[in-house]
Amino acid sequence: MKPDIHSYIRPGVHAHLVGIGGVSMSPLAEVLLGAGMIITGSDMQEGAAVTHLRGLGIPVAIGHRGENVAGAQCVIRTAAVHDDNPEIAAAHAQGIPVFERAEAWGSLMTQYPNALCVSGTHGKTTTTSMCTHIFLAARRDPTVMIGGVLPILGGGHRVGKGDTVILESCEYCNSFLSFFPTVAVILNVDADHLDFFKDLDDVKASFRRFAALVPQDTGVVVANRDDGNTRDVVAGLDRKVVTFGLEEGDVHAANLTWNKGLPTFQVVYQGQVAATVSLSVPGLHNVSNALAAAAAALVLGVEPKAIEEGLAEFHGAGRRFEHKGSYHGAEIYDDYAHHPQELRALLTTVKGLGYRRVICAFQPHTYTRTKELFDQFVEVLKLADLAVLAEIYPARETDTLGMSSRLLADRISGAIYCPDLDAVTRTLAELAQPGDLILTVGAGDIVRASAPLLS
């Protein structure tokens, strides 16, 4: 039987982190160190995170070797590290318990009175970032873990001394089921990660279990009233549910106006205007994200003034409609959208910003997602004036399905297929004209395609 992780996440215990330089492992190491634990780690390569951790006094070995776990009382690994890793194999051989990263974050949450967990198929990074801005404006000194870069943090995490931890909470491999939220936000629920989930009903069941993790008497689920799948997830739930929505819900928007593509609106809570918000990010989807962040803050007792200030200062997270520069009079933006619904929100938003043409260079992410959602990708990419299709980014997969971006391009009038990123760069250079908006879009390395143009 696997040992209880809570007995290991405590002062004085030596934990070894495999893959310590990763985006959510390095902040975990820092938080565990701050909690009085003895931390060592290993990673495959040097980097800024490794340098930072060493500066805190954490020994980090480069390369994975069995001897690196010597003296550790437990080992914590990132999801990319499997049982055949020499350090994991050594830990198993020596009887050292091995825990997943999500389990460690979950155990840490139990040490905070408020654990705000932001979930959803789309919008997690942006909404977690909005929550962070609000709690910083409220001077609540939060600990934060975001799956992206937030400029105000100079990275994707923050180690605070306040009573609140804010975490982006991902459903993939059910990792968020290791968490202990006191407030669980559900932004939306869609069919995604179908290499792990069987179907949409399986995804819904996972979110339902996540919602049920909040304490029955004191916990709150913040749920999107505008999303039918989210309504299904929380229907009949024996937990307190606070809904948000653009026009209806316990928290909703009123008097929404637009100025140069940017929204201003009132946040209505329990029938009263609680705050007036002006956003510096475009799109109705970001109004919804802001309402979710405001709702979470309100149920945690944050003053409305901090909601106004925090959201006003939010200018976007890294790779979320991030302005990269200009080339030949065309403005270049980068975005992480990799699901048809995210692409639809992005392209619908930018079509209203007044550009002469919208050129979307899209890199599909994983063969399974491209195959499962193929027809949806075809339809939504038609919203761009011109689609440039980079080859599929495989991530954790190999192509056993015969999928290629060329198949998408064949179904979209005027689309251009590019077998590699150099071809994308050349194509964008030839196409760019004054007044154009060029988007590089996807969860892989598509952003590299615009770098030569901007240099």
Q: Which residues are catalytic?
A: 124-125, 168
Helix H or strand E segment including 449: none
| Single-letter residue type at 57 | G
In the chain, DSSP finds a helix count (H) and a strand count (E) of: 15, 21
Residues whose CB is less than 8 angstroms from the CB of residue 72 and which lie 6 or more positions away in sequence, other chains included: 14, 15, 16, 40, 91, 96
Tell me how far apart the alpha carbons of residues 427 and 330 are, in angstroms, rounded to a whole number: 14
Strand, coil or helix: 109: helix
Tell me how far apart the alpha carbons of residues 432 and 430 are, in angstroms, rounded to a whole number: 6
Quote the strand ranges of 187-270, DSSP E: 220-224, 240-245, 251-259, 262-269
For residue 396, what are the CA distances in angstroms to 83, 223, 302, 343?
16, 31, 40, 22
Strand, coil or helix: 86: helix
Residue with tokens 């954490």: 58
Helix H or strand E segment including 447: none
* In contact, 286 and 258? CB cutoff 8 Å: no
Q: What is the largest CA-CA distance in the chain?
A: 64
For residue 197, what are the CA distances in angstroms to 2, 194, 203, 204, 443?
25, 5, 6, 10, 19
Tell me how far apart the alpha carbons of residues 370 and 71 are, in angstroms, rounded to a whole number: 45
The stretches of 327-444 forming alpha helices (DSSP H) are 340-351, 367-372, 374-381, 405-411, 421-431
For the chain, the first-to-last Cα distance in angstroms comes to 55
Cβ neighbours around 272 below 10 Å, total? 9
Helix H or strand E segment including 324: strand 322-327
For residue 34, what are the CA distances in angstroms to 27, 194, 453?
10, 37, 43
Tell me how far apart the alpha carbons of residues 89 and 98 are, in angstroms, rounded to a whole number: 10
Tell me how far apart the alpha carbons of residues 337 and 359 are, in angstroms, rounded to a whole number: 15
